[in-house]
Structure 1
Amino acid sequence: MSAPPARAATIVDVARAAGVSRQTVTRALHDMPGINPATRERVLAAARELRYHPSRFGRGLVKPAARTLGLVVGDLANPYYGELASAVLALAAARGWHVVMAEPASAADLAAGADAVVAFTGTAFPDPAVGAPNLPVVEIDPPHPHPRRARVAFERATASAQAVDHLLARGSLRPVVLDSTTPPGGSSRAAAFVEAFRARGVEPHLAHRTSSFSQLPPGTDAVVAFNDLDGLRLLRELHEAHRAVPREVRVVGVDGLAVGEFTTPRLSTLAIDLAEVARAALDLVVELTDAAPGAPPPVRVLAHVFRAREST
């Protein structure tokens, strides 16, 4: 048999060392029928030599025991994360999984008790897999994709271009794009709007997302907010300043929060189907348990959709 690999051994390594299929390894490790004693002992010996520790999540897929999914989300005061968490909880329950939620600061604590982790934080995500090398980790829309993690990526360029065309068609020529980075313009969502404006011969003004409307350049006639919450804040400021929306100023948000449907005027936004995001993330968790060693982490790409409403 081969020497233990430097990386954490996988079920494929055990199958190769024992000269059997992955299915046979699964049957041997979980004492399932359909395998003769000599083959079972050969598989168990290979697993011991390679120091193989089965993924707890993968083990749950072949046994009826409940599985525990760790869900790490950003600020739950933001409905964006709350809506995603709600979708994950519903879909996980339908699959018979338990869900344990944590903030990013305590993500590492999940490694001891979770069978897999889904992270949706909007920031750099700490590595919870120290001491748990087989722990499946799926990130949702990470600002800096990890080369060894599966992820659900968001495509915003198409919807951003549609929103820009919508604003320009309505006469907006002095747009502002708000962003979370300093200097502004560094995030992927802001960059998509900036590129779309510039491709059409319009140079947008960039400002930090915390800027009030009174701090923006005189004559601003369109504002692309960093997210829907910022867009709703701007609508309130414009109402208090007696500025007509959309006649004088047009406002676009990003995220597609349900609350945007219940404002006056209703907020135009780049929306993403969070139920579909949750479904893709859970599918990736399962896919990770069968991934071949050294294979690139799987990626699912979901697109935003521009929804034009009364704010533009």
Structure 2
Amino acid sequence: MSFALKRREESVSKDDILAQRRPVTIKDVARLAGVSPKTVSNVVNNRPVVKPATRQRVLDAIRALDYHPSALARGMVTRSRRLIGLVLADITNPAYPEMVEGVASLARQAGFMVMLCNTGRDPDEEQRYVHLLIEQRVDGVIIASSRMDSQAAEMLTSAGIKVVLFNRHPQQYSVSFVGVDNEGGGYLATRHLLDLGHRRIAFIRGTRGASTSIEREQGYRRALAEYGIEPDPELIGWGDYHPEVARTAADLLLRMKNRPTAVFAANDVMALSVIDAATSLGLRVPEDLAVMGFDDIAIASHRLIGLSTIHGDLGQLSREATTLLLEAINGNLTEPVRKILPVYLVVRRTCGAQRLTAIHE
């Protein structure tokens, strides 16, 4: 195949370029195809803005020069850093590894690196990360922090950074959101305990203001209402999605004179703290106390624990969030998208059942 280009009274051919004995660049492809480097970038990134004939000419030049665009080279032309930020509230949360792997795997396939931001549940640290992400000119951010507010999301988007929220969303700012059916899961968990005959069911909330905690409590209240039960404020505690805080809340609940016969914790980490508190008080699980969690983290299925819980596919959730973010970065999303994935109830030992069942919503 022969190529020739007349530009500024200078001709260039495939042989001329290859004779330079250096790596082929995007500018070489552009010179041979008779287009700008931006057009080559649009073709490489499969953007639908190039005329078919021009696209074919660029593809022919790429093949002729055996050009292999790197992520760095693409970034230099498109002004993209090929960098995604992932903001986590607490890296020690056992639910996060599956989520991080899902994001990193898809990002890697798309030629992006992931910048991990562990805020440690510190609001000031979260604000510092927001400014850092803007300074680093990341292409997009996935936020999985329960404390991140609408102002933080607005700051990022105002800086031209695409944002997707992971299983939590701000109440006053519209950005893309991917989550599980938290309200439905809260309902399933509480309804199961009610169906087992429990009437004094405690609920341990997560972080104050976190949409996940609010929605799971809404499901808890809906199930109680169906049974004609008015929620007892004394049976609702704060666990902050933290094992030590939840341990204190559980201890207070279980020391009550008229203690609950069942506890639904807004996540599995807190549910494990409930079991720990019950054991220290001489209470048997499930004989004296039924315990229900949410998330279905890996340790929940351990035979020595057998935690009844609500399963949400965090791996699938992370893949959905990453796909949405990549679509937004590539200009394929013009409006915020909201995706809710279903959950199901997993009945194990801590609620008194001796078998494993799954009830799909």
TM bracket, shorter-chain basis: 0.7 to 0.9
> Distance between the aligned counterparts of 1:169 and 1:253, measured in 2?
17
What TM-score results when the alignment is normalised by the length of structure 2?
A: 0.64
Conservation of the 8 A alpha-carbon contact between 1:66 and 1:96? no
Partner of 2:250: 212
Could you report, residue by residue, the CA deviation over 1:33-66 in whole angstroms, capped at 9, with x for unpaired residues?
8669xxxxxxxxxxxxxxxxxxx99x76x97x87
**Are 2:182 and 1:159 equivalent residues in the alignment?**
no
> Distance between the aligned counterparts of 1:119 and 1:219, measured in 2?
37
How does 1:178-197 map onto structure 2 within 5 Å?
178-180=204-206, 187-197=214-224
Q: Give 1:196's aligned amino acid.
A: A
Partner SS for 1:79? coil
Q: Which has the larger radius of gyration?
A: 2
Q: Give 1:115's aligned amino acid.
A: D
User: How far off is 1:297 after superposition?
Assistant: 0.8
Distance change >3 Å, CA 35–CA 156, structure 1 → 2: closer
Distance change >3 Å, CA 261–CA 158, structure 1 → 2: same
Q: Give 1:310's aligned amino acid.
A: R
| Structure 2: gaps spanning 5 or more residues | 1-34, 44-49, 53-70, 120-125, 240-245, 352-361
**Are 2:325 and 1:299 equivalent residues in the alignment?**
no
| Structure 1: gaps spanning 5 or more residues | 1-26, 37-55
User: How far off is 1:28 after superposition?
Assistant: 6.4
Partner of 2:242: none
2:130 counterpart (99, 103, 107): 107
How does 1:1-312 map onto structure 2 within 5 Å?
30-32=38-40, 67-102=82-117, 103=119, 104-105=126-127, 106-113=129-136, 114-125=138-149, 126-127=152-153, 129=155, 133-180=159-206, 187-204=214-231, 205-209=235-239, 210=246, 211-216=249-254, 217=256, 218-262=258-302, 264-288=304-328, 289-291=330-332, 295-312=334-351
What TM-score results when the alignment is normalised by the length of structure 1?
A: 0.73
User: How far off is 1:130 after superposition?
Assistant: 5.4
Q: Give 1:290's aligned amino acid.
A: G
Distance change >3 Å, CA 291–CA 157, structure 1 → 2: same
Conservation of the 8 A alpha-carbon contact between 1:81 and 1:120? no
Conservation of the 8 A alpha-carbon contact between 1:160 and 1:306? no
User: How far off is 1:188 after superposition?
Assistant: 1.8
Conservation of the 8 A alpha-carbon contact between 1:152 and 1:280? yes
Give the paired residue count. Answer: 262
Distance change >3 Å, CA 131–CA 236, structure 1 → 2: closer
Report the aligned-residue RMSD: 3.2
Q: Give 2:323's aligned amino acid.
A: D
Instruction: Select between 182-191 and 72-81 the one with higher mean Cα deviation.
Output: 182-191
Distance change >3 Å, CA 149–CA 143, structure 1 → 2: closer
Conservation of the 8 A alpha-carbon contact between 2:84 and 2:140? yes
Distance change >3 Å, CA 123–CA 181, structure 1 → 2: closer
> Distance between the aligned counterparts of 1:297 and 1:241, measured in 2?
49
